[in-house]
A and B are shown apart, each in its own frame.
Chain A
């Protein structure tokens, strides 16, 4: 009897430690498939050629901002991180991540603005502004080909759990969750659009539907609004946590920035 109780208690502890995945199998498709593979050939060709890929307008702008002195410090990104950004190669593949100093979860946009405020004495960029998109595109592009490798253990674990809960939550008038389309129905057709697995390894992306670049959080916002659900704000704790979970789903996929999507 006592042994049975101990076993039951041990089982409960194990289940708790493994979270939801202990009760139900994790539906995340493995290995992950990039959104690129779900695009029409014409869209892929637009991404493949750096001279026609419209995302490179943002990258050129980002490269210019990179070496421009900003704020009261008179310093440029290039002064600390290298004239060609060599100090940040691979950085975008590991974000979002928990900042060891503050314990906050930070994505690339957050790091750029934190640097501007605390080191350059410059105004932070508005989320989704052309300048912030340009710099995130430039810095992400430095990691092109580097496999996504975000950490979700240790201090990141609570953010990861929050993001996972959001991914599985049915929301909006259409009452749908992210997982219902991007885990269970990737490859199927919504009208003329093939549903992808919803990875973020190509962001910021040039999206044909927008005629513009957009961040990961803009895409979350677009998806939520399409479900007729109230979106969270770009840069909000909810979207940061969701970004961590979604980035983790695509661990191993190479960074493609600037990806072109429909």
Chain B
């Protein structure tokens, strides 16, 4: 998914705030990340240290927007997808988990994670 979703380039500082936001399906619920000031990182998905070295921004974007296109059985939610969902709770109907700009900000932040732990 090489094309950015927004005209405004992703901002990695904003992206780092987005992934920490516990009210917004934080990455930390399932992934360990190099964010030492937050306790209790989850271990459902792989650690994200070094993820910026393993994947291009286009690949990271794909894995955020619709990881089920890569693995239909994954438990990773699609953060920018409205199709194929059922019984979505009222206040989330018609809304993606992240906005287009949040996707770009998070892609920009993840791209900075080039070091293994």
User: With A180-B75, A191-B28, A192-B39 given, is the CB distance from A173 to B44 under 8 Å?
Assistant: no
- Cross-chain contact B29 with A191 (CB below 8 angstroms): yes
Across the interface, which residues of A come within 8 angstroms of B42, CB to CB?
188-191
Given contacts A174-B25, A230-B90, 8 further A-B contacts (CB under 8 A): A173-B85, A175-B68, A175-B78, A188-B42, A189-B42, A192-B40, A228-B88, A229-B87
B97 interface contact, C-beta 8 A? yes
What residues make up the interface of B, taking CB atoms closer than 8 Å to A? 22, 25-26, 28-30, 39-44, 68, 75, 77-78, 84-90, 92, 95, 97
Closest Cβ of chain A to B64, distance in Å, is 14
Across the interface, which residues of B come within 8 angstroms of A188, CB to CB?
42-44
Across the interface, which residues of B come within 8 angstroms of A192, CB to CB?
39-40
- Cross-chain contact A229 with B89 (CB below 8 angstroms): yes
Closest Cβ of chain B to A180, distance in Å, is 5
How many residues on the A side are at the interface (Cβ–Cβ under 8 A)? 20
Closest Cβ of chain A to B47, distance in Å, is 12
- Cross-chain contact B88 with A230 (CB below 8 angstroms): yes
| Minimum-distance CB pairs A-B, first 4 | A192-B40, A173-B92, A174-B77, A228-B89
Q: What is the bound-complex CA distance between A167 and B77, given in angstroms?
A: 18
Closest Cβ of chain A to B88, distance in Å, is 5
Interface of A is mostly: loop
A176 interface contact, C-beta 8 A? yes
Across the interface, which residues of B come within 8 angstroms of A185, CB to CB?
44, 75
Q: What is the bound-complex CA distance between A169 and B22, given in angstroms?
A: 25
Across the interface, which residues of B come within 8 angstroms of A172, CB to CB?
85-89, 92
Q: Using a CB-CB cutoff of 8 Å, which residues 107-141 of chain A contact chain B?
A: none
Q: What is the bound-complex CA distance between A180 and B73, given in angstroms?
A: 9
- Best-surrounded residue of B26, B28, B87 (most CB of chain A within 10 A): B87
Q: What is the bound-complex CA distance between A185 and B89, given in angstroms?
A: 24
* Chain B residue at smallest Cβ distance from A174: B77
Q: What is the bound-complex CA distance between A228 and B87, given in angstroms?
A: 9
- Cross-chain contact B77 with A176 (CB below 8 angstroms): yes
List 8 A-B pairs, Cβ < 8 Å: A171-B87, A172-B92, A175-B68, A176-B77, A180-B75, A228-B88, A228-B89, A230-B90
A162 interface contact, C-beta 8 A? no
Q: What is the bound-complex CA distance between A176 and B76, given in angstroms?
A: 9
- Cross-chain contact A173 with B89 (CB below 8 angstroms): yes
Closest Cβ of chain A to B116, distance in Å, is 21
Closest Cβ of chain B to A167, distance in Å, is 14
Interface string of A206-236 (1 = CB under 8 A from B): 0000000000000000000100111000000
Across the interface, which residues of B come within 8 angstroms of A61, CB to CB?
none
Across the interface, which residues of B come within 8 angstroms of A169, CB to CB?
86
Q: What is the bound-complex CA distance between A185 and B75, given in angstroms?
A: 10
Interface string of A170-208 (1 = CB under 8 A from B): 111111100011000100111110000000000000000
User: With A175-B84, A176-B75, A180-B75 given, is the CB distance from A189 to B44 under 8 Å?
Assistant: yes
